[in-house]
Amino acid sequence: MEKTRIWLDTDIGDDIDDTLVLEEILRNPSLDLVGMSTVFKNTPLRAEFATRMLRAAGREEIPVLAGSPVPIRGLTPVRPHETFSQWDLDEKTPDPGIHGEEAKDPHLVPRRILEEARKAPLVLLAIGPLTNIARTILEDKEGVLKNSRVFLMGGEYREHRPEWNLECDVEAFKTILYSGLDIRAVGLELTEKSTLSPAEEELLARTGSDPLGDFRREAVRRFQKSTNWPITPHDALALYMLLKEEKLDFLPVRHEVEEGTVDGQARGWLKEGKEVPGMKFLASIDMEDLHQFVLNLGI
């Protein structure tokens, strides 16, 4: 069977779900991770974290590129959130803030993605704010359209509520929405229901008895210790959607992006609009099956 070529774009290092997704990709024999890029705030540190994870998996040959640290339109005040929860803070104090410094070469990630898309069909799996993907479209829209599909976690499609990946770069979300690309999205209305039970978290802490599993277990431990949040594997739904697309139900996206300020913070959300060509969102999901998927890591 031909492998699915994937480019992963991620804000790995904050919430634990991106870490789970990267592990699942590395363990899945049907997937070929051709490269990955990091997005939002301290992208070099995120890239370093990902590189260590690849090393644990013995997959150092996969390129990891530090992408755009700031949204397309520049700095926007967004809600504070836990950053770099999976770092050993004794080892290195990460810089949690945005300093307005653009990646050294903002064309680097878009050009590498386009290069991979030219070789053969490519899936862009986007599980962070959409800055890098939007920049790729702005770099060469036809180049992306020709050979790529996008699977993303972002937006909220039922109740017009703000969603993190959308509101961290509203302009990028708009760019993708109106790009004409073939897109499958999963929204917060589904992903927020995916929280693992304490017993399931316990199970996750035991799976995968190899260096990659050890790496993830340590990341989970640090995440739990520093945030005290339950594990909600939002981003895992985007990968699940890619792997099980044929069996899932999608609805056409008939939305547009609206922006506003709530309690002094810039927010963004989706409201009703005209149909977006090429883009569909996941209508429903079997949570039990999703949990099996997440808990089977390394078994």
For residue 98, what are the CA distances in angstroms to 9, 43, 78, 115?
19, 10, 11, 29
Using rule CB under 5 A, residue 24 touches Ca ion: no
Q: Which residues of 208-227 are buried (b: 16+ CB within 10 A; e: fewer)?
A: beeebbebbbebbebbbeeb
Q: Figure out which of the listed residues 4, 6, 8, 11 binds Ca ion, where binding follows CB under 5 A.
A: 11
Q: Figure out which of the listed residues 13, 128, 162, 213 binds Ca ion, where binding follows CB under 5 A.
A: 128
3-state SS record for 206-223:
CCCCCHHHHHHHHHHHHH
- Is residue 56 within 8 A of residue 84, CB to CB? The reply is no
**Closer residue to Ca ion (CB): 134 or 143:** 134
Segment interacting with Ca ion (CB under 5 A) among 56-64, 124-132, 143-151, 291-299 = 124-132
Segment interacting with Ca ion (CB under 5 A) among 80-88, 189-197, 205-213, 227-235 = 227-235
How near is the Cβ of 238 to Ca ion at its closest, in Å? 9
- Strand stretches in 181-254, DSSP E: 182-186, 250-252
> Would you give the distance in Å from CA 82 to the centre of its chain?
16
The type of residue at 258 is: E
Segment interacting with Ca ion (CB under 5 A) among 12-20, 56-64, 154-162, 210-218 = 12-20
Q: Figure out which of the listed residues 18, 116, 167, 171 binds Ca ion, where binding follows CB under 5 A.
A: 18
Q: Figure out which of the listed residues 57, 64, 66, 127 binds Ca ion, where binding follows CB under 5 A.
A: 127
Q: 30: helix, coil or strand?
A: coil
**Residues written for the chain:** 299
Helix (H) or strand (E) holding 8: strand 4-10
Using rule CB under 5 A, residue 23 touches Ca ion: no
**Closer residue to Ca ion (CB): 29 or 80:** 80
Segment interacting with Ca ion (CB under 5 A) among 54-62, 128-136, 201-209, 261-269 = 128-136
**Closer residue to Ca ion (CB): 143 or 231:** 231
How near is the Cβ of 164 to Ca ion at its closest, in Å? 8
Kindly state the tokens that stand for 166: 């959308």
Which parts of this chain interact with Ca ion (CB under 5 A)? Answer: 11, 18, 127-128, 235
